[in-house]
Amino acid sequence: MDMNDAVKGLAALAQESRLGVFRLLVRCGAEGMAAGDIARHLDIAANTLSTHLGILANAGLVQSRREGRSIIYSADYDGTRRLLAFLMEDCCQGRPEVCAPILESVLPGCCGTETHGGNDEASAH
């Protein structure tokens, strides 16, 4: 990820409604949620939600798929992981063991830390 992509991702999240949408979709997991359900759950007008979802998708943080007549949105875990890794790539002044306990729980394998037992469930999202 380059600096421009990181700024785009952070800018997308730097708005209350978009951050709420993103957090809701993270909680929903891979199953995601239909756009209408997101709008009702967060009390956001459909046209406003559409704009927010477009910004989040353009930033690589949300993805969509069609199921029948519905469009289902879900968090883009690969895009989210790239953004988090970019933010943390130079952590601890070259001493990843300082950050390892925190990073291992959030980003297995980040910054030179290794997952235990080869189980890397986070990358399966």
pLDDT digits (tens, 9 = 90+) for 55-81: 999 999 999 999 999 999 999 999 998
- Alpha carbon 105 to chain centroid distance? 16
Q: What range does the domain containing 95 cover?
A: 90-124
Tell me the whole-structure pTM to 2 decimals: 0.76
Examine the domain organization and report whether 19 and 41 are in the same domain: yes
First to last CA, the chain: 19
Residues 12 and 59 in one domain: yes
9 and 70 inside one domain: yes
Q: Say how many domains are in the chain.
A: 2
83: in domain:
no
Q: What is the pLDDT of residue 109?
A: 55
- At residue 115, the pLDDT reads 38
In the prediction, which pLDDT does 124 show? 37
Domain for residue 84, yes or no?
A: no
95 within some domain: yes
Place of tokens 């997308």: 12
Kindly state whether residues 28 and 71 are assigned to the same domain: yes
Low-confidence residues of the chain: pLDDT under 70: 94, 96, 100, 102-125
